[in-house]
Amino acid sequence: MKTALVLGAGGFIGGHLVKRLKREGFWVRGVDLKLPEYAETEADDFVMADLREQSVVRAVIDRRFDEVYQLAADMGGAGYIFTGEHDADIMHNSATINLNVADACHRRTIKRLFYSSSACMYPAYNQEDPDNPNCAEDSAYPAAPDSEYGWEKLFSERLFLAYNRNHGTEFRVARYHNIFGPEGTWDGGKEKAPAAMCRKVAMANTGGTIDIWGDGLQTRSFLYVDECLEGSTRLLRSGFEGPVNIGSDEMVTINQLAGLVADIAGKTIHLNHIPGPLGVRGRNSDNRMIEDRLGWRPSQPLVAGLERTYEWIERQVARNAA
Ligand code: NAD
Ligand code: GDD
């Protein structure tokens, strides 16, 4: 039986990944500071532990796993990473985890590791035009991410790829572009725009108003979690190390995102634009490289994933209200 290790298995993408690997027949160990919040874990073995501790990381990487997914990070949406209040923690926590994990995998002669970097590592100067952002993989340098979260991701990408060059590992690096879906953080301050829009619309009456940070003309693309997992497992099992974008190239403004959610809910919703953490003005996944190297690209329309996500968040809102 093949074995997989999912670091960050108590989180949104990690929780979904464990389910997928179980369906594929893997024996799975999950590790996280916490259990998944919204569903039971399906991991065969779940270790609650702090991956900032080197001894912990060496202990959980106690065998030669066939596949390792390093998803554990100190992360959140714009309301978490762009306020500046968490910069030191984000850099220290995530970099320490990645340093420990790269070293422990190398010691165990584990070759295949997947690392989830982020589109936040791309330079801010290429993302000022909301209609025409440049997120081609080779546009990363000269580096100028607009957040410490992005700088840490860039450092850790380089860390994992340096192990490949110096130690013969086959670590893989993907740059995720705003992943969403059911069982993701939907309130509390770390939620991203799709979940925030779903929550706000679910809580509003038809004819009501929801708050949007900024003028809502900033652009993003959003990838449904199932497609993210498809791209991630394909990359890990391929002969290509990356870094490569895993994201949707269906770019929308945040106002359009809110409108799509309101349509799904069947509500008339007015938008109230307020100051808030904004991040880059425009961002879209450039999918030429993933199509070229893996022969695959995400294809589901945004609205399909939003329908499933809205339904789930509407239920969470109703449950909380009850
Ligand atoms: P998440 O916050 O839901 O999951 C991350 C998990 O890591 C959490 O469960 C957290 O408890 C765990 N963790 C943090 N510090 C830890 C520690 N010291 N020891 C053990 N576990 C620890 O985030 P997610 O959306 O599932 O993201 C997974 C990965 O993908 C992260 O690396 C993130 O930076 C990256 N990413 C996500 C997105 C996105 O849109 N979701 C976009 C770009 C990159
Ligand atoms: N979260 C949130 N909540 N964002 C809002 C809201 C709101 O109520 N209203 C408007 N926005 C705007 C933000 O100001 C930002 O301009 C845009 O929606 C997108 O915000 P997020 O989804 O929170 O984050 P992001 O796209 O800037 O960054 C996310 O994606 C990266 C990868 O592409 C984050 O999740 C990063 O951690 C991730 O790496």
pLDDT tens for each residue of the chain, 322 residues long: 999 999 999 999 999 999 999 999 999 999 999 999 999 999 999 999 999 999 999 999 998 999 999 999 999 999 999 999 999 999 999 999 999 999 999 999 999 999 999 999 999 999 999 999 999 999 999 999 999 999 999 999 999 999 999 999 999 999 999 999 999 999 999 999 999 999 999 999 999 999 999 999 999 999 999 999 999 999 999 999 999 999 999 999 999 999 999 999 999 999 999 999 999 999 999 999 999 999 999 999 999 999 999 999 999 999 999 9
Calpha distance 51→36 (Å, rounded): 16
Q: 124: burial class by Cβ within 10 Å (0-12, 13-18, 19+)?
A: middle
Please determine, looking at this structure, whether the domain spanning 3-179+222-246 carries the CATH number 3.40.50.720. Answer: yes
- Give tens-digit pLDDT for 279-302: 999 999 999 999 999 999 999 999
Q: Which residues are bridge partners to 210 per DSSP?
A: 271
- Going by C-alpha positions, the residue among 72, 121, 59 that lies closest to residue 98 is 72
Predicted local distance difference test score (pLDDT) of residue 70:
98
Tell me the two tokens of residue 171: 């670590």
189 lines ligand 2 (CB under 6 A): no
Predicted local distance difference test score (pLDDT) of residue 141:
98
Calpha distance 196→187 (Å, rounded): 7
CB 135 within 8 A of CB 118: no
- The one catalytic residue in 69, 115, 122, 149 is 149
Calpha distance 203→182 (Å, rounded): 17
Ligand 1 center to 309 CA (angstroms): 19
CB 198 within 8 A of CB 153: no
72 lines ligand 1 (CB under 6 A): yes
Q: Which ligand is nearest to the CA of 186?
A: 2
23 lines ligand 1 (CB under 6 A): no
Within 8 A by CB and 6+ apart from 300, the residues are 224, 226, 227, 248
- CA-nearest residue for atom 25, ligand 2, is 78
Q: Has the ipTM of the complex gone over 0.85?
A: yes
CATH topology of domain 184-220+252-281+301-321: UDP-galactose 4-epimerase; domain 1 (3.90.25)
- Give tens-digit pLDDT for 230-257: 999 999 999 999 999 999 999 999 999 9
The pick from 31, 75, 80, 257 for probing ligand 1's pocket by mutation, whose C-beta has the most ligand atoms within 8 angstroms, reads 75
Catalytic residue list contains 149: yes
259 lines ligand 2 (CB under 6 A): no
SS3 call for 167: helix
Predicted local distance difference test score (pLDDT) of residue 296:
98
Q: What CA–CA distances, in Å, run from 167 to 4, 103, 161, 170, 242?
A: 21, 10, 10, 9, 17
- CA-nearest residue for atom 2, ligand 2, is 193
Q: What are phi and psi of 116, to 5 degrees?
A: -95, 95
Break the chain into its structural domains and give their ranges: 3-179+222-246, 184-220+252-281+301-321
50 lines ligand 1 (CB under 6 A): yes
Q: Which ligand is nearest to the CA of 12?
A: 1
284 lines ligand 1 (CB under 6 A): no
